[in-house]
Amino acid sequence: MKKFSFLLAIVMVLTLVLSACAPEATPEPTEEPQVEEPEVEEPEEVEEPEEVEEPEEVTAPFEGVEVDFWHVYSEIPGEILQGLIDEFNETNEYGITVNGFNQGNYSDVEDKINAGIQSGDLPDVVMAYTNSLADWYSVDSIADLTPYIEDPEYGLTEAELNDLYPHLRAAGTTPDGAWIAYPMTQSANVLVYNFTWAEELGFEGAPQTADELRAVACAAAAANEEIGGDFAGTGGLVYYPSATNWLHFLYAFGGEELNDDGTAYDFNTQAAVDTTMFINDMKAEGCVWQTESYPNPEQGQRKALITMSSTAGLPYYEAAFEDANNDDEWGFIAAPGPDGKMAVNAFQQMLGVIPSTEDVEMASWLFVKWLTSPEIQARWVRGSGYYGTQYTTEGLLVDYLEENPIWATGVALAAIGPAEPQTFPAWSSVRRTINDVAAELYNATSEDEVVAILETLTQTANDLVEEVQ
């Protein structure tokens, strides 16, 4: 009996070992094509609707490819974005599955990607500011989208490319020509303008030149000076010396951050001097002032005619005007230059693809393409309050524009840009330096002092480029 049990045990163990060692996979593939062959022949014989469906199932080109997408949206926009992701997963003909993850704010995403680059735990698509994407591209952690955008089967047509606002292609392209950041939506630093109050002061419509802007701001300051009390010293343009605001006016004055060749930073230009002197002169005349915190309440109370804000700040302005029981007509305008050039400082919510296998990269691009297509973008704009990135999207939002007249004032502005040169080397560090220098410029008392500060800024910026290269 014992011997029998022992033999039985050996047989069982051997069976298990042999079954474990047996090449399971080998027979299956040889069998499968044999089954498939007649199926392929069938549709040729009879043209029935049932047989037409079969090939579709087989041809999903990226079947089973999963794409992890890190974004920054929570609450209602997060829910809307998740809805779009779900819709893509259900409807895309490629068999791609996208998993969306809200990773906090932009700074959290930056921290996580920086850590992930070290550990290898990275998503496939990431939403970030362009300068972050450019930094990651410099360490081979962001893919160049050019081959995917130009792909004859899955890329964009010439018409689709031309539909993008002109400044956006440059905004996402590095100096060496790699397209690393694809725009999902836009916001912009704009001037928030009280049309009703300006009209009462004798100024019809938005100012068209820098001089007109100065005139209306000074008129508002004078009017509040007359009222006195809390209103004394208020009224004109609320200006914080920051990189965003200074660059905004610089663009209107025809300036930019790079030299004519686009090969190095150059802030020591006549446009930069004129920009700074324009603001400082207005400050000297009492037409520019500062509030302790966000200037929304002051604008609602008619203590500020013009403030500078991101278009994303719209709900806060609405709340401020409502709280002050102020029915004035107000909206977004661009900063005007001396010769009537209009500019905003446009920011894009960019999407980047992380290097991976060719299939995953292509699947990632196909998701990005779908998410930024005009129809989907229009739906996302309605939910998020951001602005679109292409002309066709505007046409799909006619009813939304009518329902949201203040938001509508920003649509034309989002198209004019420009955007900061975020893909140029060391831009993050240079921008921080401009932030520090902006206060110095604001306090400069003479043109010579301004020139000296701008010269130092140019030198520092180019030194920073050398450091990163």
Partner 1 sequence: MAEKQLQKKRMKFSTQRNIFTYVILLIGVVISLVPFVWMISTSLMNLGEALGTAFFPSELHFENYAEAWRRADFTEYFVNSILITLITLVGQLTFSILAAYAFARMEFPGRDLIFSIMLSTMMIPAMVFTIPNFLTVTWLGRIGPIPWINNWPALTIPFMGSIFSIFMLKQFFAQVPDELFDAAQIDGAGHFRFLTQVVLPLSKAPLMVILVLSFIGTWNSLAWPMLVTNTPDWRPISVGLMSFVTEAGQEINLTMAGAFITILPILIIYFFTQKQFTESIARSGLKG
Site of interaction with partner 1 (CB under 8 A): 70, 74-75, 101-105, 108, 111-112, 114-115, 118-121, 187, 292-294, 296-297, 300, 309-310, 312-316, 319-320, 322-324
Residue with tokens 């997963």, as numbered in its chain: 89
Give the nearest distance from C-beta 133 to partner 1 in angstroms. 17
Give the nearest distance from C-beta 332 to partner 1 in angstroms. 13
Other Cβ atoms less than 10 A from the Cβ of 14: the count is 10
How far from each other are the two terminal CA atoms of the chain, in whole angstroms?
A: 81
